[in-house]
Structure 1
Amino acid sequence: MSAMTQIRETFRRDQVWSFLQPAQASVDVSKDILLYVEDLNVSFDGFKAINNLNLYINDGELRCLIGANGAGKTTLMDIITGKTEPDSGSVWFGQTHNLLEQDEAAIAHLGIGRKFQKPTVFEEHTVFTNLELSLKTNKAVLPTLFARLSTQQKARIQEVLDTIGLSEQQDQMAGSLSHGQKQWLEIGMLLASDSRLLLVDEPVAGMTAEETERTAELLTSLAGKHTVVVVEHDMAFVRSIARTVTVLHQGSVLAEGTMDEIQANPDVIEVYLGEDPEGEAA
């Protein structure tokens, strides 16, 4: 191979140099637990938002978190993602990563992704470009200037498009998608960024029945390869996807178990489910 050919090969437009790629974080799950939350406490102006909370999420599981407004669900997610600093306690990602010592960017790089209730997609870009922008690449100036999508990255985007059911919409502007499709795109953006732990907040709020069913299928399909934690108030939806349900109340775990066990728990019925445990939360 001539020197000129070597230069052309090095600077191919579809080539991303390996030394410009960020290193993949290693997560020790030798005990089969991906997330450890222990003795966690946080107060806001005297209000105890999280109160001696202990929670363990297994690697690859689909866990549902339920509880009334103010139970501590959002605050817990804020702590896990580095947005809020607790007063005491510990939060570990696997055996080796102390999340309380990391900032939000570092936590995201470790492989923890969060989807808020309201979709936050780049509406003026296509579905494909949204996923491209979400790829885990070095975002510094030099790598960004030189990087081009590799064949592997294109294949990864196509895999995500197939998973979220938006292959036919890949050239469509994200802003023109339906509400449900935007939710799926945002989940796809977490997948494209190689998030190992997905924190999904009220994914079916405002969805049609058909979109809700498709979302249940999507989240269920992700469990195993990913760890998925879903916060949701729609009990019918929770029942359709739940394997293990954790009920939060006043910042602590009130109950944990299968959906049948949760719906038969008198404490849960009293403080959260009310008189109609099959329907929406009271």
Structure 2
Amino acid sequence: MTTIPQQLSPQKLLKTGDANPSESQFRRKLRNLVRRDQVFDFLKPQYHPLLDTRHNILLYIEGVTKSFDGFKAIDDLNLYIREGELRCIIGPNGAGKTTMMDIITGKTRPDEGQVWLGSNLNLLNMDEAEIANAGIGRKFQKPTVFECLTVWHNLELAMAGERGVFDVFRARLNGAQRDEINRVLEQVGLCNQASLLAGNLSHGQKQWLEIGMLLMQKPKLLLVDEPVAGMTHQEMDRTAALLTSLAGEHSVVVVEHDMDFVRSIASTVSVLHQGHVLAEGSMSEIQSNPQVKQVYLGE
């Protein structure tokens, strides 16, 4: 037996104050709800109403510590990401870079410290889904795309809003939504591959597609893990141009080991060592820092 959810009841569908709703009114409201040519408010991406970046800081990490079986992966970490900046995070293996991103995205809970998105959103009080919906997108090192679908359909499925099976089945894109997909296709350089199956893309193109899928969610903060691993030099150059173009509209945090790539995109670099920030500054300042030379650059 099919039941009507509470949010689809006549009382919910009719305007407040309607008395004794008739069956015809209810049917009309229900027909309007499932119109395929209409974009509803819940499909329109909106930033979290409590997001406050008036101090120009989007992400606050303060005094964060995390231990695993007695080993401190993160040790009194303090990091601040400004709104619209592109920040590179470097450091040797075991420095805490992945654990840091796990904490930001809610996958791991710290033992101590605070993590805030803007001035009002305490990420430690939110689960992974709530954090993602608040405006944080994460790209892992290995691209995760739907290889059996076209590039276009990958972006369509990633579109911000309610995208459950029923929503996708009955929805028809309007002109604005199509324009948005085309805009992202152009931004990530995949216009000519829109109808191509994602499984037929090169490694670099899959990376760009996944970045595009994140952009469809309109995040405020993108966390990008080793985006150029396995890429050709030409693909690395295009990835550098892409990430640089995202700064301003988004805050972008890039974790990367390739120093030439970091040098090509970074204005500010943070060096993690033993779970805390060892040094921070421009690439030239980092390269001349004696502590960084000793623990990371091997000099």
| TM-score higher than 0.5 | yes
Aligned-partner SS, 2:107: coil
Contact 1:201–1:231, Cα closer than 8 Å, also in 2: yes
Structure 1 runs not aligned, ≥5 long: 276-282
| Distance across 1 between alignment mates of 2:242 and 2:263 | 15
Contact 1:183–1:203, Cα closer than 8 Å, also in 2: yes
Aligned-partner SS, 1:60: coil
Deviation at 1:114, TM superposition (A): 0.4
Contact 1:42–1:49, Cα closer than 8 Å, also in 2: yes
Deviation at 1:81, TM superposition (A): 0.3
Match of 1:28 among 52, 55, 61: 52
Contact 2:57–2:81, Cα closer than 8 Å, also in 1: yes
Stretch deviating more after TM superposition (147-156 or 74-83): 147-156
Deviation at 1:24, TM superposition (A): 3.6
Structure 2 counterpart of 1:61: 85
Structure 2 counterpart of 1:177: 201
Structure 2 counterpart of 1:242: 266
Structure 1 counterpart of 2:38: 15
| Distance across 2 between alignment mates of 1:173 and 1:60 | 33
Deviation at 1:148, TM superposition (A): 2.3
Structure 2 counterpart of 1:154: 178
The two structures have a TM-score, normalised by structure 2, of: 0.86
Deviation at 1:152, TM superposition (A): 1.2
Match of 2:217 among 190, 193, 199: 193
| Distance across 2 between alignment mates of 1:129 and 1:181 | 15
- 1:19–1:238 Cα change, 3 Å: closer
- 1:266–1:15 Cα change, 3 Å: same
Aligned-partner SS, 2:38: coil
Deviation at 1:146, TM superposition (A): 3.7
Deviation at 1:8, TM superposition (A): 8.5
Aligned-partner SS, 2:296: helix
Query: In terms of Rg, which structure is larger?
Result: 2
Residue 40 in 1 paired to residue 64 in 2?
yes
| Distance across 2 between alignment mates of 1:47 and 1:59 | 32
Residue 82 in 1 paired to residue 139 in 2?
no
Deviation at 1:15, TM superposition (A): 2.2
| Distance across 1 between alignment mates of 2:177 and 2:202 | 26
Residue 233 in 1 paired to residue 224 in 2?
no
Contact 2:157–2:168, Cα closer than 8 Å, also in 1: no
Structure 2 runs not aligned, ≥5 long: 1-24
Count of residues paired in the alignment:
272
| Distance across 1 between alignment mates of 2:254 and 2:291 | 22
- 1:83–1:10 Cα change, 3 Å: closer
- 1:232–1:182 Cα change, 3 Å: same
Correspondence list, 1:136-147, <5 A:
136-140=160-164, 143-147=167-171
Contact 2:42–2:162, Cα closer than 8 Å, also in 1: no
Deviation at 1:22, TM superposition (A): 6.4
| Distance across 2 between alignment mates of 1:53 and 1:19 | 37
Letter in 2 for 1:193: Q
- 1:226–1:22 Cα change, 3 Å: closer
Deviation at 1:206, TM superposition (A): 0.3
Aligned-partner SS, 1:203: coil
Q: Aligned-residue CA RMSD in angstroms?
A: 2.0
Deviation at 1:194, TM superposition (A): 0.9
Runs of 4+ deviating beyond 6 Å: 6-10
| Distance across 2 between alignment mates of 1:19 and 1:214 | 34
The two structures have a TM-score, normalised by structure 1, of: 0.91
